Amino acid sequence: MALAPSKDTATAKGAAAKGSASAKGTASVKGTASARPPSRTPSRGFWSSTIGKKTVMAVSGLIMLAYLVAHVAGNLKVFFGPEEFNGYAHWLRVMGAPVLHHEWGLWLARIVLLAAVGAHAVSAYQLSRRDIRARPTRYVHRRKGSSYATRTMRWGGIIVGLFIVWHVLDLTTGTVHPGFESGRPYQNVIDTFSTWYGNTIYIVAMLAVGLHVRHGFWSAAQTLGVGNARRERALRLLANVLALALTAGFIAVPVGVMTGVVN
């Protein structure tokens, strides 16, 4: 079940592949030259490299992670009552004033985040496709693989991505939120978390975020070359603390609404 070189091979290379096909019959392989030519020409380019794409994923992931930390801190203001929460939401719009015009600071953040989401998703898609192509045949004898957080990075990422779409339509634009009132985020939040589906979607997504951050933060450190044997424990710990704090912090809001602490 040998695999032919992938289709993006140049014509000249295709000819070379044919030429060496006859050499494949020999049983001794290790050390023999060019029984199978590489599928493409080696490139030192940043974006064409798996490490380059991983670097883009790591940096964009860290930008989103920094945003999540700020986001959860803002969310927790819900426990100080509607004035403080709505006041904070208003401040986000006048952030940077008077240097920045109304909502410019907010839009700046949105643009950076959108770019980060885009870069993260594109590199994830390209790397995933490559990874799947690199290992097309499964072992007959399956064994338990890596940790749950590691195995669910791809699907978890897709779930979180879909959640973000719903979340923006629900609490930013109000498109899918019946009775949405612009400028009254406290009431909108209570409204969303008074529905069973609102709570379910949110809590499941936040668990996915936690798992994603758990493996993602540590991986980003490895990709950016910050990780080493000495820092291993500290990085793992920091990843777990971040994941747990974010998940607990975000879930505290629907739990608060459900238990009547926030009303």
Partner 1 sequence: MKLNLRVWRQKNAGAEGAMATYEVDGVSPDMSFLEMLDTLNEDLILRGEDPVAFDHDCREGICGACSLVINGDAHGPERTTTCQLHMRSFRDGDTIDVEPWRASAFPVVKDLVVDRSAFDRIIRSGGYVSVPTGSAPEAHATPVPKADADFAFEHAECIGCGACVAACPNGSAMLFTSAKVNHLNVLPQGAPERETRVLDMVAQMDAEGFGGCTLTGECATACPKGIPLPSIAAMNKEWLRARRKVK
Residues that bind partner 1 (CB under 8 A): 1-3, 5-6, 24-25, 27, 29-36, 38-44, 46, 48-55, 127, 130-143, 145-146, 150-151, 153, 215, 218-219, 221-229, 232
User: What is the smallest separation between the CB atom of 150 and partner 1, expressed in angstroms?
Assistant: 5
Tell me which DSSP letter residue 140 carries: S
**Count of all residues that appear for the chain in the document:** 263
Q: How far is the CB of 12 from partner 1 (least distance, A)?
A: 15
CB of 43 to partner 1, least distance (A): 6
The residue (of 188 and 223) whose beta carbon lies closer to partner 1 is: 223
The alpha carbon of residue 18 and the mean position of all alpha carbons in its chain are separated, in whole angstroms, by: 41
Phi, then psi, of 187 in degrees rounded to 5: -65, -40
Q: Which is nearer to partner 1, 227 or 249 (CB)?
A: 227
* Pick 102 or 130: Cβ nearer partner 1: 130
Q: Closest Cα to residue 76, out of 237, 255, 203, 259?
A: 255
What is the DSSP track for 17-36?
A: HHHHHGGGG-S--TT-S-SS
Nearer to partner 1 by C-beta: 78 or 119? 119
Q: How far is the CB of 28 from partner 1 (least distance, A)?
A: 9
Percent helix / strand / coil, the chain, rounded to 5 = 65, 0, 35
